[in-house]
Amino acid sequence: MQIYLNTFGTYLHVKDDMFEIKIPSKDTSPTKQYLAVHKISSIIISVSAALSTDAIRLALTNNIDIIFTQSDGHPLGRIWHSKLGSTTRIRKRQLEASLGEEGVKYTKLWIEQKMNNQLEFIHDLKKHRPQIAEYLQEKANSIGQLCQSLQALQASRIDSIADTIRGLEGTAGRLYFETISYVLPAQYQFSGRSMRPAKDAYNAFLNYGMGILYSRVEKCLMIAGLDPYVGFLHRDDYNQKSMVFDFIEPYRTFVETTVFRLCSAKKINKSHTDDITNGVTLNKAGKELLVTTLNNYMEGDPIRYKGRNQTRSNAMQQDAHSFANELIKREGTGEENK
């Protein structure tokens, strides 16, 4: 479970070795909620809330990270426990991999998984929309060809084919989102992806959801002993978490599916967004709707993944551990990241 503090004036502290959340009310006494420590994985703060030093200490002691986000959901900073459970060897191997053929291999793998998820999404749409099956198949065929072009790329270093990969990925994304917009109810249709600011409700929900996912991916990498800043495809610009941007690719579908379902069920309305200069942003109601729905999707009914029944969140963590273990095994020591 994740704690989201998104009400102004909320206070988080500790009582009887549990987290106590006090939510202010204009007309009555503050509402109090008590949460057991072992049920919490992270605390996310997006507004002017307060937390006690005891709450911080309890979180750090129990491996619960505290994340501060911007209004659009993108992580701004975090308080993280000092014991990452990693080894220096993992991060050395990650850096080595980024400079050679291993970086090419993993980059292609993650982008290919992303494209395959896009194809799967479109094929699922086709099952229930026979009236536009031809249109959907054309889009799927085009993305499939781009995926084949990606698979055919060969290089000893990622920087020699990075621009080509970005071009293939970008074209696939444009076709994919054109398809999504085409099948959505008219009030949710949009003209391509828009980031900061979002130009429409769909992109506002998607952007905020991706912000949540970035934070989750960063935590998965750190728990596995990986460095969020040492990426393969994305450039190592100052303070850029390049590996987060690389590793997130196969899991974007978690947010995309969540937002699509909300729109398809017409659960999003004008009360969930506010107009801002040149765009729209999620308000408190919109954030609560998305956070609740996305958490249920990530932590709810288990899926069959790699021979096990597990949540999508656990599957993502498993992949991070597997990636770290593969890096070490290639070193020839046989050591694994526990």
pLDDT tens for each residue of 281-314: 999 999 999 999 999 999 888 888 888 899 999 9
Cα–Cα separations (whole angstroms), residue 330 to 147, 191, 244: 27, 45, 22
Read off the pLDDT of residues 164-197 as tens digits, 9 standing for 90 and up: 999 999 999 999 999 999 999 999 999 999 988 9
Q: Which residues contact 281 (CB under 8 A, 6 or more apart)?
A: 71, 72, 197, 198, 204, 273, 274
What token pair was written down for 145? 């060809």
The closest alpha carbon to 140, from 171, 176, 169, 109, belongs to 176
What backbone torsions phi and psi does residue 213 show, to the nearest 5 degrees? -65, -40
Read off the pLDDT of residues 28-79 as tens digits, 9 standing for 90 and up: 777 888 888 888 877 888 767 888 999 988 888 887 878 887 766 666 777 7
Rounded to whole angstroms, how far apart are CA atoms 112 and 321? 20
Read off the pLDDT of residues 106-139 as tens digits, 9 standing for 90 and up: 999 999 999 999 999 999 999 989 999 999 999 9
Long-range contact pairs involving 93-100 (C-beta distance under 8 Å, separation at least 24): 93/327, 93/328, 93/330, 93/331, 94/226, 94/227, 94/230, 94/243, 94/327, 95/227, 95/230, 97/232, 97/327, 97/330, 98/158, 98/230, 98/231, 98/232, 99/157, 100/156, 100/157
Strand intervals (E) in 252-338: 273-276, 279-282, 303-305, 308-310
Question: CB atoms < 10 A from the CB of 56, how many?
Answer: 17
Flag whether pLDDT at 149 surpasses 90. Answer: yes
Cα–Cα separations (whole angstroms), residue 293 to 239, 286, 288: 31, 11, 8
The pLDDT of residue 40: 85
What token pair was written down for 278? 């040149």
Rounded to a whole number, what is the distance in angstroms from the first to the last CA of the chain? 23
Read off the pLDDT of residues 223-250 as tens digits, 9 standing for 90 and up: 788 889 999 998 766 567 899 999 999 9
What is the DSSP track for 189-240? --SS---SSBSSHHHHHHHHHHHHHHHHHHHHHHHTT--TT--SSS---TT-
CATH numbers and ranges of domains, the chain: 2-69 (3.100.10.20), 88-329 (1.20.120.920)
Q: Which residues contact 113 (CB under 8 A, 6 or more apart)?
A: 249, 250
The pLDDT of residue 337: 43
Question: CB atoms < 10 A from the CB of 166, how many?
Answer: 13
Q: What 8-state DSSP symbol labels residue 30?
A: P
